[in-house]
Amino acid sequence: MRTLRRKLIRDLAMLRGQVTAIAIVIAAGVMTLVMLVTSLDAIRLSKDRFYEEFNFAHVFVDLKRAPERVAERVREIEGVSLLQTQVQSPVRLEVPGFDDPVRGQVLSIPDGRQPDLNQLHLREGSLPESGRNDQVLLSEPFAEAHGLQVGDNLTAIINGRLKTLSVSGVALSPEFIYQLGPGDLLPDYERFGVLWMNRRALAASLDMDGAFNRLALSLQSGVPVEPMIEAVDGILAPYGGLGAYDREDQLSHRFLSQELDQLRMSATILPTIFLGVAAFLLNVLMARIINTQRQQVAVLKAFGYGNGAIGWYYGLLTGLIVLIGCVFGVVLGGWAASGLAGVYMEYFRFPAMSFRLQPRVILLGVAIAGAAAGLGTFRAVSRAARLPPAQAMRPPAPETYHQTALERSVLWRWLSQPSRIIIRNLSRHRLKAAFSVLGISLSGALILVGSFQFNAVDHLIDTQYRLVQKADTNIYFSEPVAPGVKASLLNQPGVTAVETFRDVATRLTHGHREYRTAIQGMDASRRLRGLIDTAYRDITLPGEGLLLTAYLAEHLGVEPGDTVDVEVMEGQRRTLSVPVAGTVNEPIGMGAYMERRALNRLLREGPAVTGAWLLTDQSREQALFDRLWDMPLVTSVGMIRESRTSIRRYIEDTMLFMMGFMLLLAGSIAFAVLYNNARIAFAERARELATLRVLGFTRTEVAWILIGEIGLLTLLSIPVGWGLGTALAWLLNQSISMDLFRVPFVITHQTYAFAAAGVVLAATLSLLFVARRLYRLNMIDALKTAE
Amino acid sequence: MEEVGVSSRVVFSTRGVTKVYAMGEMEIHALRGVDLDLYAGELSVMLGASGSGKSTLLNILGGLDSATDGRVMYGDQNLVRASDRVLTAFRRDHVGFVFQFYNLISSLTARENVSIVTEISRNPMTPEEALAMVGLEERMDHFPSQLSGGEQQRVAIARAIAKRPDVLLCDEPTGALDSKTGVRVLEALEHVNRELGTTTVVITHNAVIGEMAERVIQLSDGQVASVHVNQRRAAPGELHW
Ligand SMILES: Nc1ncnc2c1ncn2[C@@H]1O[C@H](COP(=O)(O)OP(=O)(O)O)[C@@H](O)[C@H]1O
Ligand SMILES: [Mg+2]
């Protein structure tokens, strides 16, 4: 046994190239699993801790104004645990040294103490002192974006009055883990901030003494949320309640849970793909390596080693390789997970990232890798052990060949002998060749899966900003105004075109499914806002009825011709039944659209608009913004260029960051697979290649046989890899769709070319490595022995 | 001291050839100064105990390996320290090899195993002619797996002679065969030697085979112990072992 152990170490050293390659495949599979599951777990854990430790509420409601005593009636509803009233208001902010318009939301906290719900995590400084009316807490990302420190000042226009505020501290809130301005899809920490002030001071500024306009409550455990929402709405409707909602509709929570959902999908699908492919390759590669040792197995048996000893030996060999791979996979996976989680921390602000490696996940990875490798080993060893030992003592019987139809054809005569060798080798070992092709194709497929989203995202951004959002600035008004506002906007500096729209906050309901979104009413003839179908053609806006984003229609389960209930979240809060006229294919957001006059009629109002799209001259932008900002009517100015950059950055940081890793792994796997194929082909052919050298063939001529074989396999694999990759990419694509954006299932020519190039590169590198061996091939050694 | 054989033209001439294999710390002196002349058209048999350096010498003569020191002249070309390219060309143009293990390419038929050589030679015979010379014209389209050991070895001989080499080097060509098939292989070698006048060297540890040679070279411990010229050559069919 001691000798066997020595052989084990020698074999590992001798096979180090192949061992490394196999370990890479294992490491890549395990790394994918560890990275995705760990970062998913880290974000979920951080979220849960934050929610729990800082009393994140269950039900939220905004209203116009209610006297504080009304809150007592809400508190008495059966099942309410804690309740917190607040006053809040949108504000305009001026930060020293920053020219762009800055919006904010200011919320009250009880004088000098933490609220009962949605408590703040103080990062720096302290809560505003009780009785002070000029101190504020800033949300951390906003403070960071502007470099604002405790003690710094900024100006705010609250309720039309200019106020100088001093920063008493910096905080994070479970309500603003994803800190989003109204109407935004992505955080813009420079242009939107959250502030907290003492209740008394803020109420005084807002003329809300003894009243509140925001309420949050938590539920006793086990209390259902739907009846509670109805009860709260019943009490608050007379006070201008805008409809209570639960966490599912809470903006930050909703985005966070969608991101988690999508991460969970990725954490299921990507490791399944990667580990599945790795398991397959592992199985094949281990079987191949052991096949090249068949003769050795027979010799060992001839000397009296039992099947048990031989099985133990190869089991140990496999185990060691799996172990090496898993160690690397876990370490690199953990490292990548902390990188990925760090990226998410930029968008989702938690007090701390709770990071842990779950033994469960590691065990799962090890078990899958171990089982796949073990199976391959077992198959090959039992086949080798069945070989009668006497065979090892004789020169190997030549392999069996027969002539095939191809060989009687004219074409055959044109092939040189080396080419015939290649083709016969492949066609005589069809199963083996098929497995090689499948293995290489799978690695190519992984490259395709890892890379298609890069081009698809370009396509998404291009669609959204070339075909849909064609304006370069959008503005929102504080209240509905007559469409005539267009003329005065046209007079502003640098404005070359203006189109207006009417936005109204609604809750769309169909059956038991609902979604809160704005309906945007727009003119039938427009230039600045496109509505497109699945073929990216413009859709004409129908005179009546709703156009829904296809993803929203799917979410609500409606088709054109159905009707949805539209609960209008302003004015008298009427609920109307509106037919769905069609769907639009927008990759970003979950919008609903109508002809503007039809919407006005629906709202029982005259011609009215709430915002406008502008085409502007970029060189005069600053002057324009200054002017717009001075108009009391304008509450928000958005630069579409900015949102284009930020959505691209968001997708790159999250999804593409992850896919970058995947791509790296896919590349490593491709190399590992091809290297092993080349090495094994070399091992199997060494004798023939040496014979050819003896006969006077040059190294280059002999190398051709090896290059030709691997090259042919690679070429055959490319289209198969495209097919498999397209299928896997489709699977992955199906799983990634969020309110925020949907990556279209687009695989460009570049992606296909890239996947093919990756495989060809891997093949070339592998052949270069093997060519070194070919160069050192010792003819005499190769021919002297039987094998 | 040498007697005159069939020809007096020297094809190979070695002087002071040594070969040292370095095995880690140890050095193995496989050849310790070999002086030998081989004459055109002759069939020589090289005898010697296992490990005496026969294969090493043959490999050096055939350009498969190079000597550590000394001189190996093929005509007026010195093979010692020749480059790989020169040796490859030398093998391609002048030498045919036959080994104990036939080393046929299993994915090629008998005919194709021969044509793989004729395709890269300057003045080859056709594969059919070569196979006819070894009595295999009937089995040209068989794959190695469909041939017996003796037949495979004869294909190897046909492959070796098809390019009309100047020298044919055979390392234990009958080593893996029983005596009856071995005789068939030797007959093929003798036939080729007679018909084509190819200088032929056959290594064997079987002294009986020496009787068919014109010249019997005895190797011992890395040196030529004796060279004996047979007055009468036995036909392979007369040999028994
Ligand atoms: N590649 C090698 N490395 C080390 N020693 C070798 C090698 N090839 C041959 N030898 C040694 O050289 C000596 C001569 O070997 P060889 O020429 O094969 O003998 P023969 O063919 O007469 O049996 C032997 O002692 C053998 O062990
Ligand atoms: Mg020998």
Of A421, A701, A786, the CB nearest to B108: A421
- A603 and A664 in one domain? no
Q: What percent of chain A has pLDDT over 90?
A: 37
Burial class (CB in 10 A: 0-12, 13-18, 19+), A255: buried
User: What's the distance, Cα to Cα, between the start and end of chain A in Å?
Assistant: 24
Which is nearest to A325 in space by CA: A285, A265, A379?
A: A285
| Minimal-distance CA residue of chain B relative to A396 | B101
**Among the three residues A255, A270, A304, which one is the final residue of a domain in this structure?**
A255
Check whether residue A195 and residue A100 sit in a common domain.
yes
Question: How many domains is chain A partitioned into structurally?
Answer: 4
Q: What is the pTM of this model?
A: 0.75
How far apart (Å, rounded) are the C-alpha atoms in residues A462 and A481? Answer: 33
CA B114 to centroid of ligand 2, rounded, Å: 25
Instruction: Write A293-299 long-range contacts (CB < 8 A, 24+).
Output: A293/A11, A293/A384, A294/A383, A294/A384, A294/A387, A295/A391, A295/A392, A295/A396, A295/A786, A295/A787, A296/A392, A297/A381, A297/A384, A297/A385, A297/A387, A298/A384, A298/A387, A298/A388, A298/A389, A298/A391, A298/A392, A299/A389, A299/A392
From B74, B84, B147, B88, select the one nearest B114 (Cα to Cα): B147
Q: Calculate the CA dihedral of residues A102, A108, A114, A117 and round it to 10 degrees.
A: -100
Query: Are residues A444 and A559 part of one domain?
Result: no
**Smallest Cα–Cα separation from A344: which of A689, A9, A650, A759?**
A650
B32 forms beta bridges with: B18
Q: Give the separation between CA A191 and CA A746, rounded to whole angstroms.
A: 33
Across residues A178-199, what is the average pLDDT?
Answer: 87
A490 and A619 fall within a common domain: yes
Question: What is the pLDDT averaged over residues A64-86?
Answer: 94
The C-alpha of A783 sits at a distance from chain B's nearest C-alpha, in angstroms, of 7
Q: How far is A690 from chain B (nearest CA, A)?
A: 9
CA of B58 to the centre of ligand 1 (A): 11
- What residues of chain A lie within 8 A of the CB of B117, using their CB? 695-696
With beta carbons less than 8 A apart as the criterion, state whether A520 and A593 touch. Answer: yes
Q: What is the pLDDT of residues A382-404, one digit of tens each?
A: 877 776 655 544 445 566 666 66
Distance (Å, rounded) from C-alpha B61 to C-alpha B79? Answer: 8
Last residue in a domain, options A645, A673, A704: A645
Q: What is the ipTM of this complex?
A: 0.76
Mean pLDDT of A199-222: 94
3-state secondary structure at position B187: helix
Same domain, A403 and A315: no
Question: B2-238 adopts what CATH topology?
Answer: Rossmann fold (3.40.50)
Residue nearest to atom 12 of ligand 1 (CA): B30
- The stretch A610-635 carries a mean pLDDT of 86
Residues with CB under 6 A from ligand 1: B 21, 23, 28, 30, 48, 50-56
Asked if A366 contacts A30 with a C-beta cutoff of 8 angstroms, the reply is: yes
A497 and A572 in a single domain? The answer is: yes
Closest in A398, A416, A780 to B119, CB measured: A416
**What confidence score (pLDDT) does residue A535 get?**
86
Contact in structure between A19 and A321 (CB atoms under 8 Å): yes
In the predicted structure, residue A169 carries a pLDDT above the cut 90: yes
Give residue A298's pLDDT band: very low, low, confident or very high (50, 70, 90). low
Q: Which of A37, A36, A28 is nearest to A279 (CA)?
A: A28
Distance B100 CA to ligand 2 centre (A): 9
Are residues A347 and A653 in contact, defined by beta-carbon separation less than 8 angstroms?
Answer: yes
> Mutate which of A394, A402, A695 to disrupt the B interface (most B C-beta within 10 Å)?
A695
Beta pairing class for A211-219 and A59-67: antiparallel
Contacts of A786 in chain B (CB under 8 A): 101
CA of A508 relative to ligand 1 center, distance in Å: 89
Sites in chain B below the pLDDT cut of 50:
1-5
Q: Which atom of ligand 1 is nearest to the CA of B59?
A: 17
Distance B28 CA to ligand 1 centre (A): 8
Domain identity same for A261 and A240: no
Q: Could you list which residues have their CB under 5 Å from ion ligand 2?
A: B 55
Pick from A399, A701, A780: which is nearest to B59 by CB?
A: A780
Cβ–Cβ < 8 Å for A772, A681: no
Which of A259, A126, A107 is CA-nearest to residue A198?
A107
> End of a domain among A645, A676, A707?
A645
Looking at residue A197, what is its pLDDT? 95
Measuring from atom 7 of ligand 1, which residue has the nearest CA? B21
Q: pLDDT for A667-724, tens place per residue?
A: 888 888 888 888 888 887 888 888 888 888 888 888 888 889 899 999 999 999 999 9
Tokens of A522: 């727009």
- C-alpha–C-alpha distance, residues A563 and A550, integer Å: 15
Q: Kindly list the distances between the CA atom of residue A137 and the CA atoms of A89, A456, B112, in Å, as whole numbers in the listed order.
A: 15, 41, 88
Interchain contact, B143 vs A400, CB within 8 Å: yes
- For residue A86, the enclosing domain spans 57-255
Number of residue pairs across A and B with CB atoms under 8 Å?
Answer: 89
Distance from the alpha carbon of residue B51 to the mean position of ligand 2, in angstroms: 7
Q: Do B89 and A696 touch (CB under 8 A)?
A: yes
Which segment of A25-29, A254-258, A274-278, A692-696 scores lowest on mean pLDDT?
A: A274-278
Shortest-distance atom of ligand 1 to CA B49: 22
Round the average pLDDT of chain A to a whole number and report it: 86
Whole-number Å distance between alpha carbons of B201 and B55: 11
Indicate whether A10 and A95 sit together in one domain. no
A208 versus A368: the higher-pLDDT residue is A208
Convert the pLDDT of each residue in A647-667 to its tens digit. 888 888 887 888 888 888 888
pLDDT per position as a tens digit, A316-328: 888 888 899 999 9
Residues A515, A557 contacting (CB under 8 angstroms): no
Contact indicator for B59, B65 with CB cutoff of 8 Å: yes
Looking at the structure, tell me whether residues A618 and A471 fall in a common domain: yes
Do B91 and A696 lie within an 8 Å CB cutoff? Answer: yes
Tell me what pLDDT residue A107 has.
Answer: 96
State which amino acid sits at residue A439: G
Q: Do A3 and A67 belong to one domain?
A: no
CA-to-CA dists, residue A233 to A62, A74, A237, angstroms: 10, 10, 5
Q: Which two tokens stand for residue A508?
A: 């769309």
Q: Which residues of B touch A (CB under 8 A)?
A: 55, 59, 62, 64-65, 84-85, 88-89, 91-93, 95, 97, 99, 101-109, 112, 115-117, 119-120, 141, 143-145, 152, 159, 176
- How far off is chain B from A13, nearest CA to CA, in Å? 18
Residues A100-123 pLDDT 10s: 778 899 999 999 899 999 999 999
pLDDT number for residue B1: 40
Tell me the nearest-neighbour CA distance from B4 into chain A, angstroms: 32
A642: exposed, middle or buried (Cβ count in 10 Å: 0-12, 13-18, 19+): middle
- Give Cβ neighbours of residue A98 (< 8 Å, ≥ 6 apart): A146, A190
Kindly identify the ligand whose nearest atom is closest to the C-alpha of B46: 1
Question: Residue B89's closest chain A neighbor by CA?
Answer: A696
* Interface test with chain A among B105, B119, B145, by most A beta carbons within 10 Å: B105
In angstroms, the CA A662 to CA A657 distance is: 9
Q: Which of B62, B101, B117 sits opposite A395 (nearest CB)?
A: B101
